[in-house]
Structure 1
Amino acid sequence: MTEIVGLFRYPLKSARGESVQAVRVEENGLSGDRVWACLDPDDGTVASLKHPGRWGALLRVEVATVGGEVVLRVDGEPAVAGSAKADALLSSLVGRPVRLSRTGRPGARLHRRVPDEAGLIPDWMRHAAPGDDLVTTLDGPAFGGRFFDAAPVHLVSTGRLAALARQLGRDSVPVSRFRPNLVIDAADDPAPGTMLRVGDAVLAVTVPTPRCVVPGLGEGQVDRPLLKTLAAHRQEIRGLGRAACFGSYAHVLGGGELRVGQAVQVA
């Protein structure tokens, strides 16, 4: 039986995720997901791990939702998102002034570093060279002002994770490297056009998830063998071309409560 085995949200974009046992999902994503982001006041861009040189330190920030407030821990020091203290701690962490915002507007932009691994450069960025610094738009704010990259729900399967670990000759690959909302116990990631019914919630799988440098980030050095292996996972995305993909993006057709252990009906 296909079921949910992991649920995650990321209240502060590009910070660590928050594991939950149950959460409501609506058209604009999981409750509390990507509701805050760091903005660079110099150019108004949104902080994103897609440019590790600028924003990689955000992976050290722990996040928890407590009584409706998002509480950050920056190197162990707590602060409530939206406070002057939180802005000061995050500015010190990343080495540049930032301010937290919970208003994502259509047309929002972010800096991204083109991967050194050529296979990770998608066809729609074919004119970019490895190591280039690009500024691209963020599609997610169209979904209720959230700071998603492209879609309100991202999911991966246990089967795909296990296959990747075998390719790498490892016992496992941390799911946190892919920053999904849902982990489902299935042999493979659901294909575009697949409908997933979870209780009252209905998710429509739209496209495979293009990968960038983010899965290679973590504690210590960049995981280059992982990025090299992902670079071989190239798939066609209709209307855009080929890209290294892992996981699936989905839109929400019907809201409802999601729980770990809940059955997923696939059609």
Structure 2
Amino acid sequence: MQVSQLWRYPVKSFGGEQLQSAAIESDGLRGDHMWAVIDAETGTVASAKKVRAWSRLLECRARLLDDADPSDPSVLEITLPDGRCTRGDDPRTPGLLSELTGRALTLEARPRTYDEAPLHLLTTAAVEALGTGDTAGVALRRFRPNLVVSTGDTGFVEDDWLGRRVEAGSVALVPTQRTARCVMVTLPHQEVPARRDMLRTVTDRNRVPNRAGGKPAPCIGIYADVASDGVLAVGDSLIVR
């Protein structure tokens, strides 16, 4: 098995950027989930899964021009759905995001927060097991992984990695739970079209407990904690102990 893709999502609920190598730190991939769009009225983080208007954020894309200091607004580049680019230090950026969603929004660097764990892994075997008919690139991106692992196995192979040690490059990870899916997998983002049937497809193919003692849920992919930080690169071999 080997690492075939690496993805970073600098802004929560935005599309991300594909990398050739990445520093994996104790709290995740460097620069990942560093920024959040904030509802100006309530102070809550705008999540595409919570408010319909915020699903427009998925149509935006973010990348870091430099990751020496990912919290520096001048290195955050945002591409809007119409192709216009802006940066985190541009005073017009909050207004552009507010105009897009119809809600008053701000953009802030915050301590990194994740749904469940710092890293999200997905195997090509699991995506192929869904049999959705999507092209490989679209199928993988729909689930927004950090690490894509190519494997010659078949089925939802990463389901068996929980609690084991996963090593690649100079990094060691410990998978903690399966990734339970929600409406996010049905929504469009960048080149990924909407698929209203996707959550039902995952439910039909892999409805299992996402953690020990949990209730069955539609799952694909796994979350992992960082046991040993280091550097990962596309092409690195991956070993499950």
What is the TM-score normalised by the length of structure 1? Answer: 0.78
Give, in angstroms, the shift of residue 239 of structure 1. Answer: 4.2
- Structure 2: gaps of 5 or more residues: 68-74
Task: Check if 1:189 corresponds to 2:161.
Answer: no
Q: 1:234 corresponds to which residue?
A: 207
The answer as to whether partners of 1:37 and 1:147 remain within 8 angstroms in 2 is no
State the alpha-carbon separation in 2 of the partners of residues 46 and 66 from structure 1.
24
Q: 2:42 corresponds to which residue?
A: 43
Q: 1:60 corresponds to which residue?
A: 59
SS in 2 for 1:224: coil
State the alpha-carbon separation in 2 of the partners of residues 82 and 13 from structure 1.
17
Q: Deviations over 1:160-202 (max 9, x none)?
A: 111112xx35554521110000000123225311211112210
| Percent identity for Structure 1 against Structure 2 | 35
The answer as to whether partners of 1:82 and 1:100 remain within 8 angstroms in 2 is no
Q: 2:168 corresponds to which residue?
A: 198
The answer as to whether partners of 1:82 and 1:101 remain within 8 angstroms in 2 is no
State the alpha-carbon separation in 2 of the partners of residues 21 and 83 from structure 1.
28
State the alpha-carbon separation in 1 of the partners of residues 196 and 83 from structure 2.
29
Letter of the 2:4 counterpart:
V
- Dislocated runs of 4+, deviation >6 Å: none
Letter of the 2:177 counterpart:
V
Give, in angstroms, the shift of residue 77 of structure 1. Answer: 2.0
Letter of the 1:198 counterpart:
A
State the alpha-carbon separation in 1 of the partners of residues 150 and 96 from structure 2.
38
Q: 1:148 corresponds to which residue?
A: 114
Letter of the 1:228 counterpart:
R
Q: 1:249 corresponds to which residue?
A: 223
Letter of the 2:15 counterpart:
R
The answer as to whether partners of 1:8 and 1:181 remain within 8 angstroms in 2 is yes
Letter of the 1:158 counterpart:
T
The count of corresponding residues between Structure 1 and Structure 2 is 223
Task: Check if 1:71 corresponds to 2:38.
Answer: no
What is the TM-score normalised by the length of structure 2? Answer: 0.86
Task: Check if 1:92 corresponds to 2:99.
Answer: yes
Q: Say what the alpha-carbon RMSD is for the aligned residues.
A: 1.8
- Structure 1: gaps of 5 or more residues: 104-144
